[in-house]
């Protein structure tokens, strides 16, 4: 015979001799305590797992629309839950705009796309004071940055003043016009894109401003199988007289709950030390590789350490775990450090890229 506690079975022992009453009471108390612990586990676990399951469903649903770009989909979710902003670099036609629009529609968030051009003004992003003749006063008209999800398309085509207005809003989470400030929505995320093909008439983002982006993701062309699936999806969409409305899979409150849950993901002290050593190695690479030291002109700032820690926790949570592993750090290292590690002139002339530096760092810095 056995007694069942949740999913555990404990055998009952047939006693052939008399047991003191105090021992029986202690045994009963232990069983009751175990029942309470199991009951608490069974009531708390489904809430966390159901939220993780919901985000897994969101990821799969996005991959149905964004075919052949799983890294972009994962990076969008990581940036969303890490409360950061994303810089995406890729050739035209790789579903960058489609991806961010699909994410906004599935989390019930306001979306706005801004095409950056050389004649764009800061007020075109932030908004401006409008004179109302009826009242004889000025009234603030809000700009596109007051939406939840903002796509800054070809951000490097706008002049420095416009870029600064965008990046200030990203950092401060508020808009200041004159002597008044307006807070941005609690859920606020910017995805900026850059075209790597054309550089004529562009204004490169300064390195200090690039550091404001949580991640810098580069995407390439899909493979043959994914391209066939894209053709099928395009034909299916073209046959529809009107696109079917997309039902939100999550609400903004779910996003905030997921952010809190991701912050609680356990990162062991040894793994935290590894994250720190990786970033420190970008500043003093000579400890690990003399050749690598000559490649790097400037290393990542402490903001890079914070971003690497945060993104590793979020990725672990998205994988259904409440603890992070070294593989989580490795999977986000390129996106977090790519725009924070500056390559020297000679290394750049030799064809060395920041990804090559990060690969060497991951190979040289010992795992915990």
Q: Give the SS3 label for residue 142.
A: strand
**Dist CA 75 CA 91 (whole Å):** 17
pLDDT at position 290, please?
86
Q: Is the four-CA dihedral 149, 155, 157, 160 of positive or negative sign?
A: positive
Q: Which pTM value belongs to this model?
A: 0.83
Residue 21 has pLDDT above 70, yes or no: no
Q: Which of 326, 339, 332, 356 is nearest to 299 (CA)?
A: 339
On whether both 315 and 185 belong to a single domain, the answer is no
Q: How far is CA 230 from CA 106, 185, 237, in A?
A: 20, 34, 10
Measure the CA dihedral 164/85/116/337, to 10°. Answer: 80
User: Which of 232, 263, 294 is the endpoint of a domain?
Assistant: 263
Span 223-233, pLDDT tens digits: 999 999 999 99
Kindly state whether residues 300 and 161 are assigned to the same domain: no
Identify the domain boundary among 263, 297, 330.
263
Q: CATH code at 90?
A: 3.40.50.300
Residue 195 lies in a domain: yes
Same structural domain, 220 and 282: no
The mean of the pLDDT values for the chain is 85
Residue 155 has a pLDDT of 92
Burial of 364 (0-12, 13-18, 19+ CB in 10 A): middle
Residues 322-348: tens digit of each pLDDT: 999 999 999 999 999 999 999 988 888
For residue 242 the two structure tokens come to 């009107």
pLDDT in tens, 294-313: 899 999 999 999 999 999 99
Residue with tokens 């996106």: 335
Closest C-alpha among 170, 155, 145 to residue 206:
155
Consecutive H or E run containing 127? strand 127-132
Same domain, 228 and 246: yes
Q: Do residues 162 and 228 both lie within one domain?
A: yes
The pLDDT score that the predictor gives to residue 14 is: 47
Burial-class residue 119 by CB neighbours within 10 Å (0-12, 13-18, 19+).
exposed
Structural domain including 294 reads 265-368
Q: Is 241 found in the same domain as 158? A: yes
Output b/e per residue, 74-84; b: 16+ Cβ within 10 A.
bbbbbbbbbbb
Q: Band the pLDDT of 270: cuts 50, 70, 90.
A: very high
Strands 8-11 and 2-5: antiparallel
* CA dist., res. 233 & res. 68, Å (int): 12
Same domain flag for 238 and 309: no
Could you tell me if 332 and 309 lie in one domain? yes
**Lookup: tokens for 268:** 């062991």
Determine the Cα–Cα distance for residues 120 and 137; give it in Å rounded to an integer. 26
Residues, the chain, total?
A: 368
């Amino acid at each position: 015979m056995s007694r069942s506690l949740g999913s555990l079975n404990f055998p009952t022992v047939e006693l052939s001799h008399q047991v003191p009453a105090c021992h029986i009471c202690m045994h009963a108390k232990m069983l009751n305590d175990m029942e309470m612990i199991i009951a608490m586990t069974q009531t708390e676990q489904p809430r966390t797992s159901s939220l993780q399951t919901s985000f897994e469903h969101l990821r799969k649903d996005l991959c149905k629309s964004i075919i052949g770009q799983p890294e972009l989909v994962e990076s969008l979710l990581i940036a969303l839950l890490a409360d950061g902003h994303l810089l995406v670099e890729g050739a035209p036609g790789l579903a960058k705009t489609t991806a961010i629009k699909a994410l906004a529609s599935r989390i019930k968030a306001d979306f706005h796309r801004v095409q950056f051009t050389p004649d764009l003004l800061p007020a075109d992003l932030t908004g401006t004071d409008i004179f109302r003749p009826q009242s004889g006063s000025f009234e603030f008209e809000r700009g596109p940055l007051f939406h939840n999800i903002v796509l800054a398309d070809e951000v490097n085509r706008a002049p420095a003043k416009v870029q600064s207005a965008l990046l200030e809003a990203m950092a401060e989470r508020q808009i200041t016009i004159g002597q008044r400030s307006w807070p941005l929505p609690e859920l606020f995320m910017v995805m900026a894109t850059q075209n790597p093909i054309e550089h004529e008439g562009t204004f490169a983002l300064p390195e200090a401003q690039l550091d404001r982006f949580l991640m810098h993701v580069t995407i390439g062309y899909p493979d043959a199988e994914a391209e066939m699936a894209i053709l099928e999806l395009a034909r299916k969409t073209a046959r529809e007289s009107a696109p079917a409305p997309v039902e939100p899979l999550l609400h903004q409150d779910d996003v905030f709950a997921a952010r809190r849950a991701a912050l609680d993901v356990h990162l062991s002290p040894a793994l935290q030390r590894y994250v720190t050593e990786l970033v420190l190695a970008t500043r003093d690479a000579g400890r690990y590789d003399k050749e690598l030291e000559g490649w790097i002109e400037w290393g990542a700032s402490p903001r890079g350490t914070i971003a690497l820690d945060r993104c590793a926790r979020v990725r672990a949570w998205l994988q259904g775990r409440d603890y992070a592993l070294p593989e989580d750090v490795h999977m986000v290292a390129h996106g977090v450090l790519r725009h924070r590690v500056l390559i020297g002139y000679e290394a750049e002339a030799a064809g060395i890229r920041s990804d090559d530096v990060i690969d060497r760092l991951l190979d040289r810095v010992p795992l915990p």
